[in-house]
Structure 1
Amino acid sequence: MTYTGRCACGAVTVQVDAKPLMARQCWCRQCQTIAAGGPTNNAMFPAEAVHITGTLGAASWPAASGNTLTFHFCPSCGTQVYGQSSARPHIKTMRIGVIDQPHDLAPQAVIWTADAPPWAVFDPTLERFERQPPAPAPPPES
């Protein structure tokens, strides 16, 4: 399976050569800050399957989980491309919005619901976690 995508200005392109390990909607405060008050929608892939061309900017800060989060973005247009946790360097958490449509990516769980604002609406069919969920399972051996 291959996914392709690009930032809003096209200076950064992505190709992902793997199925997602998991897709989640995140309501942590850091994600709300970078997503204009709402959640981020993310698909997690093995890092070695993610290929990026173009120059990325990065910013890091300590997360509520205690890990360091690094967010990678296009410095020309500001599009968020992916995030990466110090606890899981083998995973790149791609922003679903950067992936070209059509695709089959959709959140399978909602995380950090304890940080969500009172007006947040959660899909009742998705698994919910008040805080940090367990890491996704590794991909099956080929």
Structure 2
Amino acid sequence: MTAPFNGRCACEAVSLQIQAEPLAIRQCWCRQCQTIAAGSPTNNAVFPAEAVTISGPLASSSWIAASGNTLTHTFCPHCGTQIFAQSSARPAFKTVRLGVIEEPHDLQPQAIIWTDEAPNWAIFDPGLKQFARQPPPPTAN
């Protein structure tokens, strides 16, 4: 399936439409992602920020990530569903959680990032490119 992509949070208070193909799709094992994903990685598609339209109430929290950048996670204030993240180093991108994008779609990780912070029991797909820490920014396809 190709753009546009639609999505919503678990309680359906927040909806989104994405008018572009992803620039990158990554599985992230950084400690912050493990914390918000109950010990697992997050799976994310990176889109140009202007291609993502969101309606409904949003809340956010920010902190300094291991990369040294401010990372802001945006979520539904009613059900807590993570919608997207944004880095102060890359404001032109929105990193959308794959779980909020409605099926069917064929989006799947193309790379695994922050593998240095993964727990010793983590299993990585050997067919995916791996980055020990922060990867280079995505580029237009």
Task: Report TM bin, short chain.
Answer: over 0.9
Which of these residues, 113, 116, 122, is aligned with residue 114 of structure 1?
116
1: distance between equivalents of 2:106 and 2:60? 27
Q: For residue 92 of structure 2, what is the amino acid of its counterpart?
A: H
Q: Which amino acid aligns with 1:65?
A: S
Q: Which residue does 1:83 correspond to in 2?
A: 85
Indicate the residue corresponding to 1:39 in structure 2.
41
SS for the counterpart of 2:50 is helix
Give 1:104 shift. 1.4
Q: TM-score, structure 2 length as denominator?
A: 0.97
Tell me, in whole angstroms, the C-alpha distance in 2 between the residues paired with 1:90 and 1:111: 20
Q: CA RMSD in A?
A: 0.6
Match of 1:99 in 2: 101
Q: Distance in 2 between matches of 1:90 and 1:56?
A: 19
> Which AA in structure 1 matches 2:78?
S
**Separation in 2, partners of 1:7, 1:106:** 19
Aligned to 2:5: 3
CA distance in 1, matches of 2:24, 2:135: 11
- Quote the residue 1:50 is aligned against: 52
Other-structure match for 1:65 = 67
1:18 maps to what in 2? Answer: 20
User: How many Å separate the matches in 1 of 2:26 and 2:49?
Assistant: 17
Q: Secondary structure in 1 aligned to 2:94? A: strand
Give the 3-state SS of the residue equivalent to 2:137 in structure 1.
Answer: coil
Give me the whole-angstrom Cα distance separating, in 1, the residues matched to 2:77 and 2:125.
33
Query: Partner of 1:93: helix, strand, or coil?
Result: strand
The letter of the residue matching 2:53 is H
Q: Distance in 2 between matches of 1:7 and 1:98?
A: 6
